Amino acid sequence: MSTKVVIKQSTYFDSVSLMSLSTKANQIEGVEQAVIAMGTDMNKEVLKNVGLLTPELEAAKTSDLMIVVKAATDELCESALMAIEELFKKKGGSKSATEIKYSTIDSAAASIPEANLAVISVNGAFAAREARKALENDLHVMLFSDNVSIEEEIALKQFAHEKGLLMMGPDCGTAIIGNVALCFGNAVRKGNIGIVGASGTGSQEVSVRIHDFGGGITQLIGTGGRDLSEQVGGIMMLDGIKALEEDEATKVIVLISKPPAPSVQEKVLAQVKSCKKPVVVYFIGGEETAVLEAGGHFAKTSKEAAIKAVVLAGANEDELNKRALNWPLIEEVRAKLTPEQKYVRGLFCGGTLCDEAMYLAMDKYEDVYSNIQKKADYKLKNIHESKAHTFLDMGDDDFTNGKPHPMIDPSTRIARFLEEAKDPSVGVILMDFILGFGSHEDPVGVMLPAIIEAKAQAAKEGRHLEILGYVLGTDLDTPNFDEQVKKLMDAGVTIASSSTNAGLLAREFVAKGE
């Protein structure tokens, strides 16, 4: 055991600093005991009690700083003394005053008068409460959280409606307000088309297609998936249409939803009828007649919705590259597939993308199964086992329970993909890759090894495995759209130019004997 003493004459530190230094010194590795203190009688008494008082320390004056270190070896003592010297040095360059952190919406709203919107993504159990606080503070709300009860949703939306505020969500993943994408969204051009969407990826898809066709958007209002249910009654879609109608920059309005409850569709179409601006209605799997009767513009697919919107907004239809279906490609793929490769397997991150592809397949085939099928007979009993044509929304609660969404964590989809690739009855596997704010930083990259492996395995077994990819994104998005596409093509993946074309190509690839 070794003890070293350093006495610094006429060096003053206050007792609190010295306590702090001593505490840190005792944490230095190898230090048995360290005392840093002024040479007062009381401190000498302490040193005496722990058996460290030497004649040298005894002689220290009240104004002298005493440093005593006890360690196993001389070397350890020396290194500890050097470490203690470091402790005395100032940490240098104090950090700039940090941003004040607020803990509640109330205090943040009170302190930031320019705040106008709350983006809420806390656990569903607490989300409604926070949303209510935001509305009470006159903030518009984007409620990303799911698992909020429908009663809470109704109460929040009625409250927002009374106050003239936007209440987007719950379970609303996408919005673009004032050219700023909130949560999940793509970098799309500013323009004159306004969107109200009850479906997240559906709205993303239409906004991206509008951009692709040279148009742009004013606002994208996400309402959350339940807005057009019987109970909620479309409160936010109705308010959204009204706001876009009053918005000078908006020339055309697009509505996107899964099929609404009939009574709600009636309300929405009544508002479309009275709206002074042209309204394109894309209710997935919806009926044309009612829309036309209301003076709306009916769209059967997301692509059609985008084309109608840009044309109504002023684009020349003849000059649009509508990216027609590539029939020679379809023939080529059909020729590669064996007669038993009859089925499509769609593995989706985006719920509406899944829905659109599924509805297109249902137009052609009977046996279309899914975890989100409306028809009970075709709803998968066991979601882990595909049947005939199967379209899986892997972002649905069945798959995400306790796990992150596949747009963030792709592991579940990778595993399922490898399984589907082994099935000799599968002709084509369709997958979406969603770019933009909130998404994975390299959605293609994480899937690529599995794609290459599956392709190689199928080749080894002497069968062609057609993999069809759709990359949802614009040339302004991060990660880079072209690079993502190139990586897929290099791996032998066929690329669809839109959600609609993805669905059409998939169903046509596996068509037999036409």
8 A C-beta contact, residue 509 and residue 364? no
* Min dist. Cβ of residue 300 to other proteins (A): 30
Which of 10, 41, 89, 98 is in the footprint of other proteins by CB under 8 A?
98
Q: Under rule CB under 8 A, which residues in 195-234 are in contact with other proteins?
A: 218-219
| Distance separating alpha carbons of residues 296 and 81, to the nearest angstrom | 82
Which of 93, 178, 339, 402 is in the footprint of other proteins by CB under 8 A?
178
Q: Is 129 in the site for other proteins (CB under 8 A)?
A: yes
Kindly indicate which of the ranges 240-248, 365-373, 481-489, 499-507 contains the residues binding other proteins, using the contact rule CB under 8 A: 240-248
Q: Is 119 in the site for other proteins (CB under 8 A)?
A: yes
8 A C-beta contact, residue 229 and residue 267? no
Q: Under rule CB under 8 A, which residues in 138-167 are in contact with other proteins?
A: 138-140, 142, 144-145, 163-166
Which CB atom, from 285 or from 438, has the smaller least distance to other proteins?
438
Helix, coil or strand: residue 137:
coil
Kindly indicate which of the ranges 56-64, 175-183, 298-306, 419-427 contains the residues binding other proteins, using the contact rule CB under 8 A: 175-183
Alpha helices in 28-115 (DSSP H): 41-49, 55-58, 74-88, 105-111
Distinct helix (H) and strand (E) counts, the chain:
19, 19
Q: Is 103 in the site for other proteins (CB under 8 A)?
A: yes
411-422 helix and 443-460 helix, angle to the nearest 10 degrees: 20
Q: Under rule CB under 8 A, which residues in 460-489 are in contact with other proteins?
A: none
Q: Under rule CB under 8 A, which residues in 39-68 are in contact with other proteins?
A: 43, 46-47, 49-50
For 470-498, the DSSP string reads: EEE--TTSSS-HHHHHHHHHHTT-EEESS
Q: Is 5 in the site for other proteins (CB under 8 A)?
A: no
Q: Is 372 in the site for other proteins (CB under 8 A)?
A: no
* Min dist. Cβ of residue 20 to other proteins (A): 4
* Min dist. Cβ of residue 108 to other proteins (A): 5
Tokens 């003239």 sit on residue: 164
Contacts with other proteins by CB under 8 A: the residue count is: 77
8 A C-beta contact, residue 52 and residue 60? no
* Min dist. Cβ of residue 122 to other proteins (A): 4
Q: Give strand pairing partners of 354.
A: none
Which of 101, 276, 381, 460 is in the footprint of other proteins by CB under 8 A?
101
Which of 29, 114, 162, 318 is in the footprint of other proteins by CB under 8 A?
114
Which of 9, 11, 12, 23 is in the footprint of other proteins by CB under 8 A?
23
Angle, alpha carbons 325-327-330 (nearest 5°): 105
Q: Under rule CB under 8 A, which residues in 390-449 are in contact with other proteins?
A: 437-438
8 A C-beta contact, residue 398 and residue 372? no
Alpha helices in 314-465 (DSSP H): 327-336, 351-362, 397-400, 411-422, 443-460
